[in-house]
Amino acid sequence: MPQKSTFLRGRRIIPNPIGKNVGVGDLVETYFQAYNAGRLSEACRLFVTSMLKNDVTVGMSIAGALTPAGLGGSCVVPMMEAGFIDWIVSTGANLYHDSHFAIGLSLHQGSPFVDDKLLKRESVIRIYDVVFDYNVLVSTDEFYRRLFAGPEFQKVMSTSEFHYKIGKYLLERESVLNLSHSSILATGFKYKIPIYTSSPGDSAIGMNAAEAALYGGKCGFDVIADVNETSAIVLEAKRKGGKSGVLILGGGSPKNFLLQTEPQIQEVLKIDEKGHDYFIQFTDARPDTGGLSGATPSEAVSWGKIDPSKLSDTVVSYVDSTIAMPIFASYALWKRKPRRHKRLYFKREELLRHLARAAARARKRSSRRTDVPPHIH
């Protein structure tokens, strides 16, 4: 009998009839067998079997209007609470819209097929099929305006510190309102999870900080500190004998900011490193248009973003994050017990010192290699 091809060693596809009330675990493990359902299943299994080991530091990036659809409180927060997410890069817009829920405001399911001129006349804002009253924006702006007038915001700071301070007040507001759900920023404050925004001026939070600056406010963003802090987090994970994993929702600037930590370590700081160890992305972007949102893990290898020996531990599922995340989060919470929180926010200064020492050693080695012998002119 001829030897079976190595290409036929995958699990056999079995078209079992689906039953009533099938759980998420059965969907993922039994019925998601091919195409992007297969990739979603692979992502779920990679996350729970490898990325959630205690020695892995997991970074998450969030792009696209996910929090207006409720995914902040429903999916991201439970994963943060379970210790599955150690640091985050998000668009400012996602954090701003997540704040609506934290201060007791409401968003509603609507239709994408409405007359937007009529919505404008009735002061209704639309994000595809999510709708809300214009006053939701006004009330949230007022909340932030009052915060930014406070003494603790009269300084230039990293966005992790900025978001940590906001999270404190959002957590207090949720407690006063007795809300059963929490926001990303409030949860970040509670569990000391650093949260960054790669483009802090590109959202209503940044717009309100800019308004405060017009009237003499001193609140500002140190984006250079963000670059160093995030790189320090990744380097520390690797130097302590652990690994670094990235979970990417959508793409855009947060994806790049999450991944650029490795080129910053290797290319700029000259520290000997190999790239992130695990990569999971949910996206609907194509790779052939040249946009970063669709760029593959294989392409990321060429930049030093992904360890080339770890490509087998990367998964891209071309599926809407609003479909993938409830399944992904539910599966992870069902399959794995909570991890101990790394509380990286409180370790930032220590990690920066470690990064600076490693960079100084690398610079010294690099300068020795590039010194021109004295007899050559």
String of DSSP letters for 150-195: SGGGSSEE-HHHHHHHHHHHHHHHHHHHT-SS--HHHHHHHHT--E
191 vs 19, higher pLDDT: 191
pLDDT tens, position by position, 329-373: 999 999 999 999 999 999 999 999 999 999 999 998 877 665 545
Query: Rounded to an integer, what distance in angstroms lies between the CA atom of residue 377 and that of residue 375?
Result: 6
Res 367: pLDDT: 74
Of 90-104, 190-204, 225-239, 300-314, the one with minimum mean pLDDT is 300-314
Query: Do 374 and 252 meet the contact criterion of CB atoms below 8 Å apart?
Result: no
Q: From the centroid of its chain, how far is CA 92?
A: 12
Look up residue 367 and give its DSSP letter: H
CA distance 374 to 86: 49
User: Residue 377 — very low, low, confident or very high, per pLDDT cuts 50/70/90?
Assistant: very low
Torsion sign (Cα): 25, 27, 33, 38: negative
Residue pLDDT, tens place only, 71-88: 999 999 999 999 999 999
d(CA 317, CA 324): 9
DSSP 8-state class, residue 75 = I
Interval 21-75: pLDDT, tens: 899 999 999 999 999 999 999 999 999 999 999 999 999 999 999 999 999 999 9
pTM above 0.75, yes or no: yes
pLDDT band at 1 (very low <50, low <70, confident <90, very high): low
Q: pLDDT tens digits for 260-288?
A: 999 999 999 999 999 999 999 999 988 87
Q: Which CATH class is domain 32-365?
A: alpha beta
The pLDDT tens digits for 86-110 are 999 999 999 999 999 999 999 999 9
End-to-end CA distance of the chain: 71
Residues with catalytic annotation? 305
Q: What is the residue extent of each domain of the chain?
A: 32-365
Per-residue pLDDT tens over the stretch 155-173: 999 999 999 999 999 999 9
pLDDT at 152 over 90: yes
C-alpha–C-alpha distance, residues 78 and 109, integer Å:
22
